[in-house]
Amino acid sequence: MMIKNIGEAIFFLGGILKVICKGRVRWPEVLAQMYEQGVQSIVIIMLTAMASGMVLGLQGVVTLQRFGAKEFIARLVALSLVRELGPVFSALIFSGKAGAGMTAELGTMNTHDQIQATRVMGVNPIELLVVPRFLACVLVLPVLVIIAEIIGIAGGYMIGVHEAHLPSSFYLRETIQSIGYVDFFSGFIKVFFFSVIIAWICCYHGFYTQGGALGVGRFTTRAVAYSYISVIVSNAILTKIILTVWG
C-alpha cells in the first residue's frame, strides 16, 4: 500500500510539472492563491520570527557575557535566522496554516465530487485546481521567509541594543557584515525545496482525500504531519550537502 501511494504521489507530481512545462498556468488563480496563502500565514510567521530573534538575543546576552564577547550577539542572531531558523520555522508554520488550507479545500472538493465534475466538463483538474496552489506556495514562501528573517533580526536588534547596551550603528554594521552570499543563498535553496515539498504533499493528500467530512480532517492532519517530518529531514540532508559543497 505504501509503495502504491509513493508511486501515485510521484505520478501526481509529474502531472503538475507537465502542466507547468506546457505553459498551461492560470496566472489569475495563482495570484489569488498567493494572496490567500500569504494572508493566512504572514501574521503568525512575523510573530514567531520576532519571538525567535528576541530569544536568540536574550540567550546570546546571557551566554556571551560570560566570555566577554557580547559584541557577537548580532552575528549569532543574523546567521542563526538566515541559515536555519528563518527557513525552517517559516516552512513549518506555513505548512500548518496554508498547507492545511490547501489540503482541506481540495479534500472538500473531492468529497463533493467537484474534481470529478471538472473532468466531466473536459477540464484538467490538476491544471485548474492544483497547479495554481502549487505555484503559489513555491512563490510566496520565499517572500515570507525573507520577511521573517528581517523581523527576527529586528527582534534581536531590540535585545542587543536595550539589554546588551550595544550601540545601534555597531549592531547594524555587524549584522550586515556577518551575512554573506553563501549564508543567504544556502537558506534560499532550503526554502525552495521546502516549498516544493509542502505544496506536493498537501495538494496530493487533498486531491486524493477519501471518506467524506471525516476523511477531510484525517487527510489534512496527515498532510501537515508528513510536511513537518519532510521539512525537518530534508533540512538535515540539505544542511549536510551545503556545508560539504560550500563549507
Record the cell numbers describing residue 101, joined without a space. 488550507
Record the cell numbers describing residue 189, joined without a space. 535553496
Alpha-carbon distance values, 227 to 94, 175, 179 (Å) = 10, 32, 28
Share of the chain above pLDDT 90, in %: 56
Rounded Cα distance, 107 and 101, in Å: 10
Q: pLDDT tens digits, residue range 46-98?
A: 999 999 999 999 988 888 888 777 888 889 899 999 988 899 999 999 999 99
More confident site: 7 or 154: 154
C-beta of residue 201 within 8 angstroms of C-beta of residue 221? no
Asked which of 2-11, 38-47, 186-195, 235-244 is least confident by mean pLDDT, the reply is 2-11
Record the cell numbers describing residue 109, joined without a space. 472538493
* For residue 31, pLDDT beyond 70: yes
Q: Determine the pLDDT at residue 95.
A: 93
Q: Is residue 4 part of a domain?
A: no
More confident site: 89 or 182: 89
Considering its fold, how many domains does the chain have in total? 1
Q: Is residue 166 part of a domain?
A: yes
Alpha-carbon distance values, 116 to 8, 24, 96, 124, 127 (Å) = 18, 20, 27, 10, 13
* Mean pLDDT, the chain, whole residue set: 90
Q: In the predicted model, what is the mean pLDDT of residues 185-191?
A: 89
125 exposure class (CB count in 10 Å sphere: 0-12, 13-18, 19+): buried
Rounded Cα distance, 156 and 161, in Å: 9
Q: Is residue 117 part of a domain?
A: yes
Q: Is residue 30 part of a domain?
A: no
Q: Is residue 109 part of a domain?
A: yes
Domain that holds residue 214: 35-246
Q: Is residue 82 part of a domain?
A: yes
Rounded Cα distance, 4 and 135, in Å: 26
* For residue 2, pLDDT beyond 70: no
Share of the chain above pLDDT 70, in %: 99
Q: pLDDT tens digits, residue range 205-246?
A: 999 998 888 889 899 999 999 999 999 999 999 999 988 887
Q: How confident is the model at residue 1 (pLDDT cuts 50, 70, 90)?
A: low
Angle at Cα 94 formed by Cα 92 and Cα 99, nearest 5°?
A: 105
- Of the candidates 202, 198, 92, 199, the one whose C-alpha atom is nearest the C-alpha of residue 145 is 92
Q: Is residue 121 part of a domain?
A: yes
- Of the candidates 94, 73, 38, 61, the one whose C-alpha atom is nearest the C-alpha of residue 153 is 73
Q: Is residue 87 part of a domain?
A: yes
